[in-house]
Amino acid sequence: MTESSPEPDSRTRLARAAVDAFGARGFHGTTTRDISTAAGMSPAAMYVHHRSKEELLFELARVGHVRVLELARASVARSSDPVTQLGDLVEDFARDHAVSHTGARVINYELAALSDDHLAQIRAIRHDIDTVLRDVVSRGVASGVFSTPDPQMTSLAILSLGIDVARWYRDEGRWTPDEVAAHYRLLALRMVGASHDG
């Protein structure tokens, strides 16, 4: 848990302001002035730390995606049973997308604003995240504990379900992140036709 009450440094304040602004109004709906003034600085301050508005978005997307990839790998590493692995992965993934819904919204729905080169780098990380999940599903199918006519599409659907939490989840909403996470674990296990719950 990182402390948050003592005023963080400028780079951090800029990053947080950018996430909030991009999340609320989108990349193109956000001005560089929005970001810098929300961070308590002048319009030019952003350019001390980032070469352009697009590079700031890229930095947020890169860090955010790496974080999710590591989260996914850690979830899977805690067990060697596909049922537990899938359950843990989906639970952690869904919880994270509920807790960090604004950040997740930005890095999932603003990617079209990235340059071709930057987008390619992000897609590479996303591919790795896909692979973590797909491998778990494949191993479950191979060992007979999962049953699905199309493991690839089922994997995609499970990932899709988790990502979309970032779109609909609200802090003042009906469910806590843990409640969403627990239910999504069950849903994912049903989707793969798991014989028993993990």
Binding site for a copy of itself (CB under 8 A): 24-29, 108-109, 112-113, 149-150, 152-154, 156-157, 160-161, 163-165, 167-168, 174-175, 179-180, 183-184, 186-187, 190-191, 193
Residue 123 C-beta: closest distance to a copy of itself, Å:
12
User: Which letter, b or e, does each residue of 146-174 get, where b requires 16 or more Cβ atoms within 10 Å of its Cβ?
Assistant: bebeebeebbeebbebbbebbeebeeeee
Rounded Cα distance between 14 and 146, Å, is: 45
Residue 4 C-beta: closest distance to DNA, Å:
18
Nearer to a copy of itself, 13 or 58 (CB): 58
Say which entry of DNA, a copy of itself, none residue 186 contacts (CB below 5 to 8 A, set by partner kind): a copy of itself
Say which entry of a copy of itself, DNA, none residue 174 contacts (CB below 5 to 8 A, set by partner kind): a copy of itself
For helices 177-191 and 82-99, angle between their N-to-C axes, nearest 10 degrees: 140
Angle at 173 between CA 107 and CA 57, to 5 degrees: 15
Which residues of this protein are in contact with DNA, per CB under 7 A? Answer: 9-11, 30-33, 36, 40-45, 47-49, 51-54
Residue 52, number of CB atoms within 10 A of its CB: 12
Q: Please check whether residue 78 is in contact with residue 88, taking contact to mean a CB–CB distance below 8 angstroms.
A: yes
Say which entry of DNA, a copy of itself, none residue 32 contacts (CB below 5 to 8 A, set by partner kind): DNA
Say which entry of DNA, a copy of itself, none residue 42 contacts (CB below 5 to 8 A, set by partner kind): DNA
Rounded Cα distance between 22 and 30, Å, is: 6
Say which entry of DNA, a copy of itself, none residue 49 contacts (CB below 5 to 8 A, set by partner kind): DNA
Rounded Cα distance between 47 and 60, Å, is: 15
Residue 115 C-beta: closest distance to DNA, Å:
10
Residue 10 C-beta: closest distance to a copy of itself, Å:
26
